[in-house]
Structure 1
Amino acid sequence: MPDSAAMKATLLAYVERFNAGDAEGVAALYADDATVEDPVGTQPLAGKPAILAFYQHATSRGARLEVVAPARGSHGNAAALTFAVHARLDGRAARVDVTDIMTFGADGRIQSMRAHWGPDDVHFV
């Protein structure tokens, strides 16, 4: 199992790669059989091809992530990151407040990502 520091480093690499528009780099952080549930309550995406397509779409639209609190580890195989997504929604500038909780496999790659945000976390600016 990866330690807390390694999981936190992966979360920060996730942000760096996302903000660089590197969808393939983000997807490389995931295990081949990983899942992404964004937002929680929707049908999870499963597998690397679906996850890559998700990040290709998000990065191609110019979304950017701003970390707003330190990454948090755990005594287990999970870590969390709270950030703001800056994007254009319906043609308007918006900020979406999000906390991602990710679990990790023994190899240190992300096994699952669950994005916690709801309609009241979307703010038009």
Structure 2
Amino acid sequence: MSDPVHMTSVVQAYIDGFARADAASIAVLYADDATVRDPANSPPITGREAIHAFYARAMDKDIRLTLNGPVRIAGNVAAFAFRIDMKRDGKPATIDAIDTFEFAPDGLITAMHAYWGPTNLQFIQEPK
């Protein structure tokens, strides 16, 4: 799939799914045999059912995503920078990340890689 409009709409559906804490709406964006690597150097999570469980666990952490700029498209891959707002160890934190989605001809995601690491995690000082 190399339709930029479709690919961009899938990225928005992903962001919107997090806003609603709806893991099922995210899982259906993936092919049955898709893989997720989050972070990108971790072992793959394989298959829609396992991917659904992964996102359901993530949503238990009250995560919010905010896009940082436009979705970038190259062939059948969409890349997007975003900010993750969450609680980590009970403290507010942010992670600046970049995800990539690789698309199959049918428009479903076949692979997702999340690029972030410890240097991208920042704790937010709450006002006293």
Shorter-chain TM-score category?
Answer: over 0.9
SS in 1 for 2:106: coil
Partner of 2:73, secondary structure, is: coil
Aligned with 1:62: secondary structure? coil
CA–CA separation in structure 2 for the residues paired with 1:91 and 1:29: 31
- Same amino acid, percent of matched pairs: 41
SS of the aligned residue for 2:59 comes to helix
Q: What residue is the counterpart of 2:106 in the other structure? A: 107
CA RMSD of aligned residues (A): 0.8
Contact 1:5 1:73 in 2 (8 A): no
Which protein is bigger by CA-based radius of gyration? Answer: 2
Counterpart secondary structure, 2:100: strand
Unaligned ranges ≥5, structure 1: none
Per-residue deviation at 1:60?
1.9
**Poorly superposed stretches of 4+, deviation over 6 Å:** none
Q: How far apart are the structure 1 equivalents of 2:100 and 2:114?
A: 7
Deviation for aligned residue 1:17: 1.1
TM-score under structure 1 normalisation? 0.96
Structure 2: which 5+ residue stretches go unaligned? none
Match status 1:71 vs 2:76: no
Residue 18 of structure 1 is matched in structure 2 by: 18
Count of residues paired in the alignment: 124
Q: The residue matched to 2:72 in structure 1 has which SS?
A: coil
